Structure 1
Amino acid sequence: MQKISYRHLMAGAAFSALFIAVPAFAQTADTSAPAADEIEEIVVVGTAGAGTRRQDASFAVTTLSSDAITRAAPNSTADLLRTVPGVMAESSGGQNGANIFVRGYPSGGDAQFVTFQMAGTPIFAPPTLSFLENSQLIRLDETVERVEAVRGGTGSLFSAGQPGLTVNVVPRTGGATLKGFAKLSYTDFDEIRGDAWISGPLDDSTGFMVGGYYAQGNGIRDPRYRAEKGGQITANIHHDFDGRGSVEVYARYLNDRGQWLLPIPVVSDSNGKVRAYPGFDHGTGTLNGPDTQITTNVVGRTLNLSEGRGAKVINTGIAFDYELVDGLRFRERTSYLGGNADTLGLVPVEAPTSAATMATRLGGAGSTLASLSYVNGGTAVAGGADAQVMRAGIWEVRKKISSFVTDSSLEWTAGNNKLTGGFYYTGFSSRDVWALGNQVLLAAEPNARLLNMTLTNGAGAQQTATLNGFSSGPAFQVRGFYQGSDYAFYAVDELQITPELRIDGGVRWQRHVIDATLSTSANGGTVNLDGDPNTLYDNSVTRLGENRFINYKDSAWSWTAGANYDFSREIGVFARYSRGNSFPQFDNLREASAVNIADGTGLAAVAKVDTYEAGLKLSTRFANLYATVFHNKFDGLATTTLINNVPVSSNGGAKATGVELEGVIRPFAGFSIAAAGTWLDASYRDFFTGNGAIDNTGNQVQRQPKWAWRVTPAYEVEIGGLKPAIFATLQYTGDRFSDPENNQVLPHFYQLDAGISVDINERVKLAVTGNNLTDELGLTEGNPRIIGGQGTGAILARPILGRSFRFSAAVSF
């Protein structure tokens, strides 16, 4: 406890020092010559045109250079968003399967209010489908020049009209000089990875870039088989039209998959403290293992869990910008994505319990354990009725997806006025095949072994509870083909009233259309496969029902108005109001049509978000500060959660008020302290879960803490021909709840990361980074497959990844 308090005190002091020091430097520094890379930082996301200085932006935006990305040492694409204030990113699910939450926007998981772009164009139009969120479709590698993230503000007008968070990944492009880079890295959990890129000129006006990465390993949570494998390659050609514009053509191929990391057993004490489950390392343990890698379920379906969760997609696009005549520009951004994004995982459904208790759960009241043995080998399990066992489902979700996006606009500039009008269209599809359930009986241990159980029921009959470890067959199935389209018109006007004051306003009208043909097990009933009531494993196997159809259409207006006032080139303020919309996607409509409420209410409603925000921006040679105050109101929110393999709806409203701070001070050459923090008060209002049975009004919005902050000191110095640098990040995540009912508490925790690098002759760079150096047990999720608390003792929860180190050597020319 003393150690935590000390870290808390030191980090709090550093965080406070940042914001105390900023105004002091603003008063004493020579602001006539600020650092060029800070003042001239250009952002494209959230703007109508080619971009604006971050200091001039009248909305909350965060930019991360390639160096900042390296120092953040993210474990995944979503993990990088931990650096963005107002965003809660959970990357404990591995490279894929992240949960990302924004500014108190309520959702049950995935990334319902997050859209990723590649070179300014959405990579996949729906921000989230069940078992698929945008960050699963893109990886960070050395070909990335920077990442931009806009929260709220103008996001509801541009691109896909995302009112939450829009993240733009900007790739490197070629210039007048031939350049190259290669890096080899290795971790203490035996992952090896290679990154490389090369760029240069094709002629005086045209450049190219090509690069990517390849990696393989078992992962920090080692299942004892090759669970992580794949890579990405990106290429582009960029051409400048003699100062009148440019065109960029790009292509990216991703083929990468990894283990889907899910809750594991931990122990919750009566005082709310959490500790590791006996024999199960909280940072490296996993239920997955050789026993469960390849299995054949009760309906004869064989799966290999090494396929994990990932994507095999190609994404191509073009970005065109040209000044047709003086003052009139045409812009076109188009992209296509197609491929597969599958999910196979071992999904635990309940905490460990005794074999005797499990016998009662499987056979009913009065049932007792007759035998318990390992599937492989057939030997009896030590402990008999007292042995600790648990169940997990082997889930299979196949998705074949496609998305086409085009965004065309004209920008007219006359004097101090700039008017932009545009048209946005996207067509997208997903062909889904799901088979959930398929529960297996496991020993409650890392790399869990499959178990077989027989029992005696209350009437004295002998019953077989499992078949090769399976205690059930498919419980929820989906076969569906969804097609959707959105088309929108938008217009934005920006007026520079005085050199200091700029105002802007805009509107967007969007039409959302979904057509689908699907069948689910919800209307298909169940069957006893062999007709024998004493073989319990196949007594209630679901079957698909008749095809049903979805035809959904709706439209909505979004709008925004903002003002920016610059006291000087270095200090400015802004204020903004915006109305945004979030349309129901495939999964909401699937469940809405099942209960016949696709009439503009419930799960088929268009979620509306009203955002009020104001901010302060300061950029000098010695310090940068960006502070934003916001208030959000939500109506018509809707999600579905699988509870006991049955979709359960949640819908209603919420409100949130928050403060976001980020900045950096540079008191002397080579030294900096960067910090970011969020205070958030987000609660539900008229929000019901459990298909309308539970009123959560007043509860804290799930998975989002009231307090979160991070502090990153860094020091770089030149010694002879060497340039060593050291950096560290201490991050705090406050108390929060895993569920909207606020029954599953996720205690606060700290995470300490650090690294050191050495530049040798400006060509060679050696580095080592460490994540979670204190091996903190920090929970990001409880058990999302139940409603209610888990009590004390053994529970299910998903901790952050344990302590790990990455060593790398890079060379550039």
Structure 2
Amino acid sequence: MDKCCSRHALLLLSAAPLAMLVTAPAQAQSTPGAAVADATPGDAAAAGNATDEIVVVGTAGGGTRRQDAAFAVTTLTNDAIERAAPNSTADLLRTIPGVSAESSGGQNGANIFVRGYPSGGDAQFVTFQLGGVPIFPPSTLSFLENSQLIRLDETVQRVEAVRGGTGSLFSNGQPGLTVNVVQREGGRDFHGLAKLSYTDYDEIRGDAWISGPISQDTSFMVGGYYAQGNGIRDPQFRAEKGGQITANLRHDFAGRGSVLIYGRYLNDRGQWLLPIPIIQQGRKISAYPGFDAGTGALPSRDTRITTNNSGRTVDLADGRGARIGNIGVAFDYELADGLRARERLSYLWGSADTVGLVPVGAPVSAGDMAVTLGGTGATVGSLTFANGGGVAGPNQQVMQAGIWEVRKDIDSFVNDMALELTTGRNKLTGGFYLADYTTRDNWALGNQVLLTAEENARRLNLTLGDGRAATRDGFTSGPSFLVDAYYKGRDYAFYAVDELQITDQLRIDGGARWQRHAVDARVRTSSASIDQDGNAATLYDNGTATFGPATNIRYRQSEWSWTAGANYDLTSQIGIFARYSRGNSFPQFDNLREGLTIVAQVDTYEGGLKLSMPWLNLYATLFHNKFDGLATTQIINGVPNSQIGGAKATGVELEGTVRPFAGFSVSAAGTWLDATYRDFFTGNGTIDNTGNRVQRQPKWMWRVTPAYELELGGLRPSLFATLQYTGDRFSDPENNQLLPHYYQLDAGVAVNIGERLRLQVTGNNLTNEIGLTEGNPRIIGSQGSGPILARPILGRSFRFAAQMSF
């Protein structure tokens, strides 16, 4: 561990005993946002229907009733998470209006889009928090987004998500979507759960947690999961493997506050799922012959372990994932009547690597591939399997895919402390935020191999008719883009928020944040290409990228963010709100490496209606965004290409639950979005996309979830289903790659046997729909009709689970 990491660790470890110095004989007291003491599975569902539901995200830390919140916020209880049966952490976000989440990439590597903010992929405007602290301050770096660093398991009590609104003031100042994961905590009694699940694609997973008192004022929780399998898209090797363990210790002071100390270790990897061959004829989508659209995988035993032209051996089983540790402290204490202090610390360290088989072009005939590799007039001399399997057939369809390797060592230290002063009907909060974070990057992109265009593809060797060797052990090229970099970022911010309850019905608030963003880096990237062996007839190594000289980066920028809002309660159950906010998103490491220094700026106007009744909850929000200053890069032919510009978006978000009679409910969420580019250029400034629809975000998106629970003697069966609609989108900013609309149907049945045992079966994509979430992001322009590359949603699958609780 370097000196910087050691310093941060010592600061964090010292915070716990310092907080514990403020002691007093006590009775346990929950602070706002704490997990419900002594909650048993199923209690959360009832709590989620109450009008006094407390949310912490989007506030200065003290929490507020959702009905009183003057911003758009969604909460998902543990019961709601279970019914959603998400395939990944990011997959849960598709339940949130205004958010388009693509989990077709597997457990990791999700693309998440928010309210028409323009983005080329990953989750550039999404921040995940654990206990109110960012898991990793940059929301997205190339090949690393926040959802990669946390898993949902049974230790999660609930998930909160705020869109726009106050998000630009708190935490890391995220103007898009801030997601807060709230842990279970111990209470006055011992509780626990053990759960075993199995899928029809042979994944097995175990979850467990236990919590309870240590003393009258102190409690604990510990739990986690472990899982392994090959995944729905089976690559013929163990692609999914790992687990997470979480523990926390909570101490309550005598009606004055609490301290929570937690630790988490995640070691989990999964296959990075990428586009596969698909047939597209306009809006009609069908499977490529011999390649199952829902379960087919391009990697295989033959491609798993290879040695590239640089002599480096790469194992695709490394996949995409994280091996990280995370420790933190959340301290809340009333120093004097009306004056509270809050301190939240987090330190994270470890690695987050990505290794994958990245296809670059749709299947073609071997003859066409000979021309692609050898030039006009080239023909096939011989085509054989690289593993010694004999000669490939004359009609063999082939394709190229790169074996990409991205290694990242990361660490971050976050400190967020605030003072809250309440006098009469006024609450004033002032705070300081500090984040120190680093990454050590080593990339090798390119390294393309020639493959059969089929499930679990095999490597091919191609010799041209004139004797030139197009491949070596299947490789058609060496690396095309290299990175060797060390980045260090530091953000510090001051923020202040004032909330004034003018009357019993009217509350107004306003706040501002000043943030300083600093980055220092030393970077080497690709320079000239070389012919490795000096032989022009060996085509496979004639354009190998090499490192150029190291360059230093120094960046400093400061910006102001602010917001003002009002909430008016027409009655105790009906409220309206309005808000304006200005937020900023600073350029992170990858943008600065490419010389992109623009600060993105977002102006958001929003207003909403909130209804909270025993039989109905409804939240409706109208918003308008003006976005300027997007700067990002897209990897085209293994080389970054810039995307720069702005966008505007108008939308309506609806979510709610109706409960017409006991045991039956219908939950629904929907979004209408009109988002277009403004002065937005791609292809390193050569293509103007002004007026085009913002990529990957549909105009219409909705989901409906009916659920019914009844009593049958000692049994409590429940049925639930979700129908989701995703409208037409374009995969690219140029609007040349259409992704047609699709429906997805999920359903499940659960049976509670007595008070302890629960059995459940859930099915995803029951109709086996071929819904495309991505075209080919590694080209500019249309893919035409017929065989293309695209990434569909995962095919039909079932999960069986049994759990015992006490």
Hey, what's the Cα distance between the residues in 2 that align with 1:401 and 1:89? 25
2:706 counterpart letter in structure 1: P
Q: Identify the match of residue 534 of structure 1 among 526, 534, 537.
A: 537
Q: Identify the match of residue 248 of structure 1 among 224, 247, 260.
A: 260
Hey, what's the Cα distance between the residues in 2 that align with 1:97 and 1:629? 30
Equivalent position of 2:156 in the other structure: 144
Q: Identify the match of residue 462 of structure 1 among 457, 460, 467.
A: 467
**2:192 is aligned with 1:180:** yes
Q: Identify the match of residue 372 of structure 1 among 363, 375, 383.
A: 383
Hey, what's the Cα distance between the residues in 1 that align with 2:668 and 2:247? 34
Equivalent position of 1:491 in the other structure: 496
Q: Identify the match of residue 428 of structure 1 among 437, 444, 456.
A: 437
The Cα offsets for residues 377-401 of structure 1, whole Å up to 9 and x where unpaired, read as 241111x2x3200000000000000
2:220 counterpart letter in structure 1: F
The Cα offsets for residues 658-691 of structure 1, whole Å up to 9 and x where unpaired, read as 0000000000000000000000000000000000
2:438 counterpart letter in structure 1: S
Equivalent position of 1:38 in the other structure: 50
The Cα offsets for residues 546-579 of structure 1, whole Å up to 9 and x where unpaired, read as 0001000001000000000001221100000000
The Cα offsets for residues 53-90 of structure 1, whole Å up to 9 and x where unpaired, read as 11110000000000000000000000000000000000
Q: Identify the match of residue 503 of structure 1 among 504, 508, 511.
A: 508
Hey, what's the Cα distance between the residues in 1 that align with 2:49 and 2:88? 26
Identical-residue share of aligned pairs (%):
73
Q: Identify the match of residue 225 of structure 2 among 213, 226, 243.
A: 213
User: Contact 1:35–1:620 at 8 Å: present in 2 too?
Assistant: no
Runs of 4+ in 1 over 4 A off after TM superposition: 34-37
TM-score (normalised: structure 1): 0.93
* Pairwise CA distance, 1:49: 3.0
Hey, what's the Cα distance between the residues in 2 that align with 1:242 and 1:236? 20
State how 1:541-556 maps to structure 2 within 5 Å: 541-556=544-559
3-state SS of 2:317 partner:
helix
3-state SS of 1:292 partner:
helix
User: Contact 2:611–2:617 at 8 Å: present in 1 too?
Assistant: yes
Hey, what's the Cα distance between the residues in 2 that align with 1:192 and 1:49? 38
* Pairwise CA distance, 1:464: 0.4
Hey, what's the Cα distance between the residues in 1 that align with 2:331 and 2:656? 33
Equivalent position of 1:393 in the other structure: 402
The Cα offsets for residues 587-614 of structure 1, whole Å up to 9 and x where unpaired, read as 000001xxxxxxxxxx211000000000
Equivalent position of 2:678 in the other structure: 685
1:121 counterpart letter in structure 2: V
TM-score (normalised: structure 2): 0.94
* Pairwise CA distance, 1:36: 8.1
The Cα offsets for residues 493-520 of structure 1, whole Å up to 9 and x where unpaired, read as 0000000000000000000000000100
User: Contact 1:180–1:196 at 8 Å: present in 2 too?
Assistant: yes
Equivalent position of 2:74 in the other structure: 62
Equivalent position of 2:783 in the other structure: 790
Equivalent position of 1:340 in the other structure: 351
Hey, what's the Cα distance between the residues in 1 that align with 2:467 and 2:597? 48
State how 1:740-751 maps to structure 2 within 5 Å: 740-751=733-744
Q: Identify the match of residue 283 of structure 1 among 291, 294, 297.
A: 294
1:376 counterpart letter in structure 2: N
3-state SS of 2:594 partner:
helix
Hey, what's the Cα distance between the residues in 1 that align with 2:314 and 2:755? 49
The Cα offsets for residues 162-203 of structure 1, whole Å up to 9 and x where unpaired, read as 000000000000000001100000000000000000000010
Hey, what's the Cα distance between the residues in 2 that align with 1:101 and 1:36? 26
User: Contact 1:411–1:420 at 8 Å: present in 2 too?
Assistant: yes
* Pairwise CA distance, 1:272: 2.6
User: Contact 2:48–2:77 at 8 Å: present in 1 too?
Assistant: no
Hey, what's the Cα distance between the residues in 2 that align with 1:640 and 1:72? 33
* Pairwise CA distance, 1:762: 1.0
Please report the RMSD computed on the Cα atoms of aligned residues, expressed in angstroms.
0.8
Equivalent position of 2:580 in the other structure: 577
User: Contact 1:410–1:420 at 8 Å: present in 2 too?
Assistant: yes
3-state SS of 2:79 partner:
helix
1:335 counterpart letter in structure 2: S
**2:716 is aligned with 1:723:** yes
The Cα offsets for residues 179-234 of structure 1, whole Å up to 9 and x where unpaired, read as 11000000000000000000000100111000000000000000011000000000
State how 1:117-136 maps to structure 2 within 5 Å: 117-136=129-148
Hey, what's the Cα distance between the residues in 2 that align with 1:49 and 1:571? 25
Q: Identify the match of residue 245 of structure 2 among 233, 256, 259.
A: 233
3-state SS of 2:303 partner:
helix
Equivalent position of 1:637 in the other structure: 630
Show structure 2 runs of 5+ residues with no match: 1-45
3-state SS of 1:358 partner:
helix
Hey, what's the Cα distance between the residues in 2 that align with 1:49 and 1:531? 63
2:754 counterpart letter in structure 1: N
User: Contact 1:405–1:427 at 8 Å: present in 2 too?
Assistant: yes
Equivalent position of 2:416 in the other structure: 407
Q: Identify the match of residue 615 of structure 1 among 590, 595, 608.
A: 608
Show structure 1 runs of 5+ residues with no match: 1-33, 593-602
Hey, what's the Cα distance between the residues in 2 that align with 1:150 and 1:650? 27
Hey, what's the Cα distance between the residues in 2 that align with 1:361 and 1:65? 53
Which range moves more in the overlay, 192-201 or 34-43?
Answer: 34-43
Equivalent position of 1:12 in the other structure: none
3-state SS of 1:175 partner:
coil
Equivalent position of 1:108 in the other structure: 120
User: Contact 1:180–1:197 at 8 Å: present in 2 too?
Assistant: yes
CA pair 414-42 structure 1, distance change in 2 beyond 3 A? same
The Cα offsets for residues 779-812 of structure 1, whole Å up to 9 and x where unpaired, read as 0000000000000010000000000000000000
3-state SS of 1:790 partner:
coil
**2:574 is aligned with 1:562:** no
In the alignment of these two chains, the number of paired residues is 761
Hey, what's the Cα distance between the residues in 2 that align with 1:43 and 1:117? 13
Hey, what's the Cα distance between the residues in 1 that align with 2:234 and 2:174? 37
3-state SS of 2:419 partner:
strand
User: Contact 2:386–2:459 at 8 Å: present in 1 too?
Assistant: yes
* Pairwise CA distance, 1:243: 1.1
Hey, what's the Cα distance between the residues in 2 that align with 1:317 and 1:647? 36
User: Contact 2:452–2:459 at 8 Å: present in 1 too?
Assistant: yes
Hey, what's the Cα distance between the residues in 1 that align with 2:326 and 2:545? 37
* Pairwise CA distance, 1:462: 1.4
**2:173 is aligned with 1:195:** no
* Pairwise CA distance, 1:35: 7.8
**2:514 is aligned with 1:514:** no
3-state SS of 1:71 partner:
helix
* Pairwise CA distance, 1:769: 0.2
* Pairwise CA distance, 1:37: 4.3
Equivalent position of 2:446 in the other structure: 437
3-state SS of 1:584 partner:
coil
User: Contact 2:47–2:53 at 8 Å: present in 1 too?
Assistant: no
Hey, what's the Cα distance between the residues in 2 that align with 1:54 and 1:246? 22
Equivalent position of 2:483 in the other structure: 478
3-state SS of 1:433 partner:
strand
**2:429 is aligned with 1:417:** no
Equivalent position of 1:351 in the other structure: 362
User: Contact 1:276–1:282 at 8 Å: present in 2 too?
Assistant: yes
Hey, what's the Cα distance between the residues in 2 that align with 1:325 and 1:307? 53
Hey, what's the Cα distance between the residues in 2 that align with 1:778 and 1:478? 34
3-state SS of 1:463 partner:
coil
Hey, what's the Cα distance between the residues in 2 that align with 1:74 and 1:745? 26
